[in-house]
Amino acid sequence: MDTETDRISGHDWQKIDQFVALVHFWSECRARHGGQFASRGDVKPHAIKDFLHWTFIADSMGYEELTVRLSAAAIDDAISNNLTNTNMFDLYEPEMKSMFWRFVTPILAGDLGGYASRILVGKWDQQIQYQSICLPLRNRDGTQNAMLGAVHWTPMEQEMARRLGKTDETPENFGRVTSMMHLTLDTFEPVPFDTEA
């Protein structure tokens, strides 16, 4: 996406402090563990204090299932709803579920990271730009079906929301996708993701 009012690219995560802190933490854990991904045992409050307020953990037990185990306080505040123990696929429109599943599958498998930007409706009908970054996370037993991520949100002016396609019919939860891409796990370079495939 590239408009006068909003420029979103695969390198935008580098402009957000908590995303940079997450990538640094994850990379340090990987180096410390001889190339293995960060595990749930690494995710302790003191270790992630620089981005704890924006942190989430989610895991999957099967097709189109992604349950939040630790919800980011920042997004809970924005939408007035704690998402812990919520299956995120219960919030997506039916026609969006296959796209989101294609997006999260390589992250859960440990092949790629991910970056997404969406328009949400928060409390008092405030429209916000919601950005997230997620990286593979090992379970304590070494299995791979989880992710560690961070979020960032900013209020949007009505005119910008209109230009990005927000309408009265857009669903309240995770409505309008403005950008989605995968990230390599060595240099965190963007990998195109086709939302229409």
In a domain, 193, yes or no: no
DSSP readout, 94-154?
Answer: HHHHHHHHHHHHHHHTTS-EEEEEEEEE-GGG-EEEEEEEEEEEE-TTS-EEEEEEEEEEE
Dist. CA 181–CA 172, nearest whole Å:
22
Dist. CA 135–CA 40, nearest whole Å:
12
Q: What is the domain-level CATH number for residue 46?
A: 3.30.450.20
- Tokens 């309240």 correspond to 172
What's the token pair of residue 63? 């097709």
Summary mean pLDDT of the chain = 84
Q: Which pLDDT tens digit goes with each residue over 41-62?
A: 999 999 999 999 999 999 999 9
Q: Which distant-in-sequence residues (6+ apart) come within 8 Å of 112 by Cβ?
A: 106, 182, 183, 184, 185, 191
Find the mean pLDDT for residues 149-173.
60
Number of domains comprising the chain: 1
User: Is pLDDT at 172 greater than 70 in this prediction?
Assistant: no
In a domain, 165, yes or no: yes
In a domain, 195, yes or no: no
Dist. CA 150–CA 132, nearest whole Å:
6
Higher pLDDT, 155 or 68: 68
Partners of residue 191 on adjacent β-strands: 182
In a domain, 168, yes or no: yes
Higher pLDDT, 87 or 156: 87
* Element (DSSP H or E) covering residue 75: helix 73-79
In a domain, 2, yes or no: no
Q: 161 lies in which domain range?
A: 12-183
